[in-house]
Structures are given as C-alpha cells and as structure tokens.
Amino acid sequence: MTKQEKTAVIEELKDVFANLDFFYITDASTLSVEQINNFRRLCFNKGVKMRVIKNTLIRKALESASADKNYEAIFGELKGPTAVLFAEGAANIPAKVLKEFRTGNEKPLLKAAYIDTAVFIGDDQLEALTKLKSKEQLLGEVIGLLQSPARNVISALQSGGQTIAGLVKTLQERA
C-alpha cells in the first residue's frame, strides 16, 4: 500500500468510526477461503459489513478521535489478523452473526467489541453481547412500564364502578 492509499483508508475509517456507536473486532485467521466466503455471505445477508484492515490503520483512525470515546481500551487487542464488523441498527447484530456462524466453526473469535464507549474484551463476552437490547426495544419497555400504572388505575376505576353498580342494584332488589 502506498502512503496515499493508507491515508485514504485512515480517513475513511475515521468517518466510519465517527458515525457508528459500535463495532466488533474479530480474528478469523485460521478459516479457509470457503469458510471466510460463507462468513462474508452471512454477514452480508444480516446487514453486517466485514472488512479486513491492518491494525496500524485501525489504531491511527481511532487515535484521532476524542478521548471521551474510550478507544484506548481496544488498542491492546489490535494484534494479529483483524477483521472489523460494522452494522447499522442494533448493537447485538454482529454478535448474533458471530454466534450463528460459530455453530459449525471454531472461529472467528471475538477480540473486542465497542458499544457506546463501553468496551467488551475477549471471546467470553460474546454471549452477553448477543443478549443486548436495541435502543428501540429499551424505549418500548420503558414506555410500557410508564403506561402500566395508568392502565392499573383505569382498570381499577372501571371494575370499581361495576362493583358499586352491582351493590346498588342488589340493595334495591332487597328493599
């Protein structure tokens, strides 16, 4: 790669990292060409973009970001062959793709995952990452929780009204 090509890749990665709240760093080094192609196909079908990028280029792109992003925690994992998984939407999609592909394969291994300034390091974090909920799911749950007290009050008032009407009717019949 020429210096101009490297600079172009770094600039492109800066834009990608600036616009995404999450990405996954994996190691797929021992997979065969057929397995890599199958993994790329699965990623494409699920809306995940996979790119094999040199660690130094990833590091330079991440170093240019502001310190509050907490990218420094990932730098230790940028060694050996590295593939980066990007996706738009839910942060757990790449984790689910990794888990699905690994039902028949040992790799790719998860080196690290970056999700909204939180860093998950190691392949043992994959199960936890698959269970993460999207922002939309969390908002839906919060709205449901906020609406439930109002529903309880309304249903109590409605049932209470029927009970009172029943009592009045019973009292009238006795009299």
* Per-residue confidence band for 11, with pLDDT thresholds at 50, 70 and 90: confident
The CA distance from 134 to 93, in Å, is 9
Please give the model's pTM, rounded to 2 decimal places. 0.72
Residue 169: its pLDDT value, please? 73
pLDDT at 161 over 60: no
- Looking at 20-134, list the stretches that DSSP marks H as alpha helix, in order from N- to C-terminal side: 33-46, 55-63, 93-101, 126-130
Q: Which of 5-14, 85-94, 103-112, 159-168 has the lowest mean pLDDT?
A: 159-168
Model confidence pLDDT, tens digit, residues 49-66: 988 888 888 888 888 877
In the beta sheet, which residues pair with residue 121?
112
* H helical segments located in the chain: 3-19, 33-46, 55-63, 93-101, 126-130, 135-174
**What is the average pLDDT value for the chain, to the nearest integer?**
81
